[in-house]
Amino acid sequence: MSMKVLQAQSNSSKLASKAISNHWNIAIFSVEKKIMGLFEVTLEEPKRESQKQSWYAGLELFITQFLTATNIGLILWYGGLSYYMEQSPQIIFVGLSLKVQPMTIVALVGQSGSGKSTIIGLIQRLFDPLSSKVTYCI
């Protein structure tokens, strides 16, 4: 929360605390409605600030979700890919081909050590293949 909201909430809490500790005086002078009106006024600012922050958060969520959805629309293509890890002289992938159409969800499944993370690393360009290339099309 912003400092403005915290300060306004602090002011309303102080007012409520004073009203509770002086409830006999408030009742004797019949100023309950006035105190409630003051309390409502002190809560207006935090309400406005919270609504503004909610709009910003909603807009931010929309933008991130929109960008995520549009990135799913990429075509991913592997063709004849070969790759080996520097720690091991053994070639891991030989002739790997993979084509994913836009708006398609693909799951990589397999045993531990079968290369799922390596394929993701190649897609993210964390590694470079020995031959061929990873192509992205829109």
Of 27, 50, 70, the position where a domain reaches its end is 70
Q: Is the pLDDT of residue 127 over 80?
A: no
Rounded Cα gap, residues 60 and 18, in angstroms: 39
How confident is residue 57, by pLDDT bands cut at 50, 70 and 90? very high
Q: Are residues 116 and 94 in the same domain?
A: yes
Provide the domain count of the chain.
2
Residue, of 34 and 128, whose pLDDT is higher: 34
- Phi, psi at 70, each rounded to 5°: -70, -30
62 and 86 housed in the same domain:
no
Q: Which domain holds residue 48?
A: 3-70
With 90 as the cut, is the pLDDT of residue 77 above it? Answer: no
> Are residues 65 and 7 part of one domain?
yes
Rounded to a whole number, what is the distance in angstroms from the first to the last CA of the chain? Answer: 40
- 126 within 8 A of 72, measured Cβ to Cβ: no
Average pLDDT over residues 101-119: 81
Is residue 80 over pLDDT 70?
A: no
Same domain, 64 and 79: no
Q: Which of 16, 38, 70 is the last residue of a domain?
A: 70
Residues 62, 24 within the same domain: yes
What local confidence, expressed as pLDDT, does residue 55 receive?
A: 94
Residue 61 pLDDT level (bands cut at 50, 70, 90): very high
30-47 confidence digits (pLDDT tens)? 788 888 888 888 888 888
DSSP H or E segment with residue 136: strand 134-137
Which residue type occupies 117?
S
* Cα–Cα distance, 74 to 93 (Å, whole number): 23
| pLDDT score, position 71 | 63
**95 and 62 share one domain:** no
Q: Give the Cα separation of 93 and 82 in Å (integer).
A: 5
